[in-house]
Structure 1
Amino acid sequence: MGASDVNLAELIGSRICHDLISPIGAITNGLELLEMVGAVQGPEMELISGSVGSAGARIRFFRVAFGSASDQPLGRTEVVELLKDVEKAGRLRISWNLTEPVPRNQVKLAFLAVMCCENAMPFGGEVEIETQGDAWTVTGVADKLNLNTGLWKGIGSGRFTEKLSPAQVQFALLPDTASTMGRRITAETTATQVTLRF
């Protein structure tokens, strides 16, 4: 992937997320109206509400991770609320240990790194995101990791020995997106921890 491929991928990601956000939002509003009038109650309604909430959270997360990004800052509250919604939809607990607003393109890198960690933690775990000066560290910890060594060895260069599946696209996008920002990805893995720095 070259820079033009990254830009095209971002445009596609932005378009898909943009087109899906509106109908998901409309379904959420419709469900809230049904709840207000008491038209539908019970486990069926909870299942639908939970599923729509999960889908909305993932789409908003993907919009940052896969969409076009700028230097426009994202505040702590906005990011933390989004990550809390994502936590409800999955098995990860994510700690955003930043207090100041940061550029959206750097949040994008952090979200792609979170997705890489998530890939290694099918049974869940904890992810911590922190900065020291201009350097970012994203650390995933779990009792049991499922590491694809080819992915983790190739993430620094963006070159992989095997063809990536759709579920692994973040491993290609992270180093390429970082490169367009003048950053380089480094990765370390142990039996219970993965660490990405950029």
Structure 2
Amino acid sequence: MTKQDRDLTALIGSRICHDLISPLGAIGNGVELLQLSGLPDSPEMALIAESVTNANLRIRFFRVAFGAAHDGQLIAEGEIRSILAPGVDGRKIDIGWQPVEDQPRTAVKLAFLLLQCFESAMPWGGHIQVTRDETHWQIRGEAEKLKVDPDLWGLLSEPQPGIDVPPAQVHFALIAPELGRQGRAAAVTIADHSISVEF
């Protein structure tokens, strides 16, 4: 993937997320207005409200993970924590975000891409801890049961053109090019009940 391809991919991600956030917000506002108008609570309204909340959180997450991130740009700590807050869907994975203060958007982009890798490996739930020491980041996930695809996790170290990456796992293919752009490298350690990635 060339630099131009990476830039276009990020810009497309930013554009799609930007265009989806407004209508989702409008739907959420409409639901609130219906509730304020005295419309009785119903399972249908609760389902719509929950779905809009979860979709908003997911779109905001994708905007950071797949969108454009420029050197020197920061993302507010409050924004990060609100995006990673548990949704109303009873998410099975608990994410502990340790870094305090605003963070470089480029590093958070990498962290969010990696979090999706952890989610792919932990379909039955678990706990993920994100820490930062100066410029060094570590993401560690623990679960009773892991689902690890060695070929996909191998992509974190270096691009492998022969690996067929399904759309649902595209985050695995984006990490090595982004690491290269940032002048970083990833160290991956996989055990029976844990995964650790440092960059």
Aligned positions of 1:35-184 closer than 5 A: 35-70=35-70, 71-85=72-86, 88=89, 90-159=91-160, 161-184=162-185
Q: Percent identity?
A: 41
Question: Shift of the alpha carbon at 1:158?
Answer: 2.3
Alignment TM-score, normalising by the size of structure 1:
0.94
- 1:57·1:85 contact (CA, 8 Å) conserved in 2? no
**In terms of mean alpha carbon deviation, does 31-40 or 114-123 score higher?**
31-40
Per-residue Cα deviation, 1:6-35 (whole angstroms, up to 9, x for no partner): 111101100110110000000000001111
Per-residue Cα deviation, 1:158-182 (whole angstroms, up to 9, x for no partner): 2264200011111111111111011
- 2:156·2:176 contact (CA, 8 Å) conserved in 1? yes
Aligned positions of 1:7-22 closer than 5 A: 7-22=7-22
| SS of match in other structure, 2:85 | helix
Per-residue Cα deviation, 1:123-159 (whole angstroms, up to 9, x for no partner): 1111111111211111111110000011112321122
Give structure 1 stretches of 5+ with no counterpart.
Answer: none
Distance 1:17 1:36 in 2: 28
Give structure 2 stretches of 5+ with no counterpart.
Answer: none
Question: Shift of the alpha carbon at 1:87?
Answer: 7.8
**RMSD of aligned C-alpha atoms?**
1.5
- 2:86·2:94 contact (CA, 8 Å) conserved in 1? no
Distance 1:23 1:194 in 2: 37
- 1:155·1:171 contact (CA, 8 Å) conserved in 2? yes
- 2:128·2:139 contact (CA, 8 Å) conserved in 1? yes
Distance 1:97 1:113 in 2: 16
Distance 1:101 1:49 in 2: 30
- What's 2:190 paired with? 189
